[in-house]
Amino acid sequence: MKHKTLKGLQDILPPDISIWHHIEKTAANIFKSYGYHEIRLPIMESTEVFKRSIGETSDIVEKEMYTFQDKGGRSVTLRPEGTASFVRAYVEHHLHNNPPPQKYYYTGPMFRYERPQAFRYRQFYQIGAEAMGIEDPKLDAEIISMLSRILDSIGLKGLNFEITSIGCKECRPDHKIALKNFLGSKLDAFCSDCRRRYDTNPLRILDCKVPACIELRKGSPPVLDYLCKECKDHFDSLNKYLKLLKVPYRVNPNLVRGLDYYTKTAFEVSSENLGSQSAVAAGGRYDSMVKEFGGPPTPGIGFAMGMERVIPLLKDVIEISDGPELLICPLDNAASEKGLHLAELLRAKGLWVEINHEITSLKSQMRKANRISAKNVIVLGDDEINSHKIVVKSMIDKVEKESKLDADQIAAILQQRS
Ligand code: HAM
């Protein structure tokens, strides 16, 4: 019987993996320049970690978590996102004892039992960043600017940056009343989830994906209109700093996040080329989460970007050239042994070198060079071994360069051409 990947999961194969490496390397370099350190977290946590922080009434917790009992009868969940795991680790390892800001990043798979569709998977990868311990909106501006720099540096242009503030415990009660007044008169027309959420957490109605509910909630009062003085000052300053840093963005008062832990700043980056799953990255502030996890009151802010959304956008933009620097083409057994040794010497210098172990005609070896996108070839036969001279032929511009049959000289030519 042939087996297949589970629905909503995918294998990541070459040459696509080169784009993954390009993004991961670029992001890691930029994280370093902003002082973010990598943190590696388990992909499974006790279910409570997610339930409490993401919110019992969120779509993720209500419908999308991969939750099961382990053999010891504990309820465990495959992480649907990284922030809750991160905060659990932050508190568990007393990272708050270090001087703020504490800045971390992570990469890895997340799991959500969503209905699979283009750009929406059940296992998807995020690159996320979290900065802890600073309430000042300059940190918000800095992290949004860092995200913009990452997306720009990997080659993504023309994205929409949207920001808003979703207030805090002080301003939300007034907004909640206004929202309930607005929604109350047409509640019967909403889906059963929304009708339930009207009493438990009306803000979640703004995140419902049912088309009829989206239509019905149009024109609802945004939290932005109800901000308390502290949240308003924070948001005004953030706008000022984003302008100072020349981050292109717009304020979207209707921006809603699907997770309950956010306070004040929330943001999303989207692309028009991803259909309905347009969010490439998103994040925000979560100033009460560390305390709720049993740590000392510590503000935090972060974001995560979705690799499966970024990669399709990059495929048309960046060229993947994934082939060896050199293919050695031996014409007989003696040349094959010589080539075997030469390949090892060149690989020891860090070059990607391939050799044809099976001796076939020169024509078929050249066909293979093209097929594997080799950048250069060397043909090795009696003449080359006896004269100790070879020709390094570029498969890109067909330029031929003579060299001694010597790893140092050949390496110098390959490096010059790469
Ligand atoms: P999120 O908005 O749930 O936020 O996810 C962040 C990004 O992950 C999305 O913008 C999207 O690119 C990607 N993503 C989410 N679900 C899927 C899916 N099913 N398939 C493919 N890609 C997906 C968070 O996860 C927060 N933890 C972000 C954060 C970090 N906030 C503060 N710190």
Task: State if residue 300 touches ligand 1 by the CB under 6 angstroms criterion.
Answer: no
Instruction: Name which residue sits closest to atom 31 of ligand 1, judged by CA.
Output: 283
Pocket residue to mutate for ligand 1, from 162, 259, 261, 267, most atoms within 8 A of Cβ: 259
Quick one: 69 and 136 in the same domain?
yes
If one counts every other C-beta atom within 10 angstroms of the C-beta of residue 136, the result is 14
**343 in the same domain as 311:** no
Whether the CB-CB separation of 344 and 380 falls below 8 Å is answered with no
Cβ(304) – ligand 1 distance below 6 Å:
yes
0.85 cut: is pTM over it? yes
Place of tokens 């044809």: 356
pLDDT (tens digit, 9 = 90+) per residue, 330-367? 999 999 999 999 999 999 999 999 999 999 999 999 99
Same domain, 74 and 149: yes
Q: For the chain, which ranges sit under pLDDT 50?
A: none
Q: Whose CA is nearest to atom 32 of ligand 1?
A: 302
pLDDT score recorded for residue 316 = 79
User: Distances from the Cα of 61 to the Cαs of 49, 77, 114, in angstroms?
Assistant: 11, 10, 11
Per the structure, the complete domain to which residue 153 belongs is given by 16-171+227-315
Alpha carbons 15 and 315: distance in angstroms, whole number: 11
Ligand 1 site, residue 106, Cβ cutoff 6 A: no
Are 365 and 310 members of one domain?
Answer: no
pLDDT at 315: 85
Q: Is the residue at 206 inside a domain?
A: no
Query: Is 112 a pocket residue for ligand 1 (Cβ < 6 Å)?
Result: yes
Supply the pLDDT for residue 61.
96
Q: Are residues 135 and 269 in the same domain?
A: yes
Q: Same structural domain for residues 332 and 309?
A: no
Last residue of a domain, one of 315, 335, 352: 315
Q: Are residues 327 and 355 in contact, defined by beta-carbon separation less than 8 angstroms?
A: yes
What does 183-229 look like in DSSP terms, one character per residue? Answer: HHTTGGGS-HHHHHHHHH-GGGGGG---HHHHHHTTTPPPGGGG--H
**Is 258's C-beta closer than 6 angstroms to any atom of ligand 1?**
yes
130 lies in the same domain as 55: yes
CATH number (domain holding residue 403)? 3.40.50.800
- Does residue 41's CB lie within 6 angstroms of at least one atom of ligand 1? no
Asked if 262 and 381 sit in the same domain, the reply is: no
Q: How far apart are the first and last CA of the chain?
A: 45
pLDDT at 154: 96
Is 246 contained in some domain?
yes
> What integer pLDDT is reported at residue 277 of this predicted model?
82
339 Cα–ligand 1 center, Å: 49
For residue 418, what pLDDT is reported?
A: 83
Does residue 202 sit within a domain? no
Last residue of a domain, one of 281, 315, 349: 315
Q: What is the pLDDT of residue 415?
A: 94
Same domain, residue pair 397 and 251: no
Residue 219 lies inside a defined structural domain of this protein = no
393 lines ligand 1 (CB under 6 A): no
Could you tell me if 311 and 332 lie in one domain?
no
The reply to whether 253 and 402 lie within a common domain is no
Reading the block at residue 233, the tokens are 């000052």
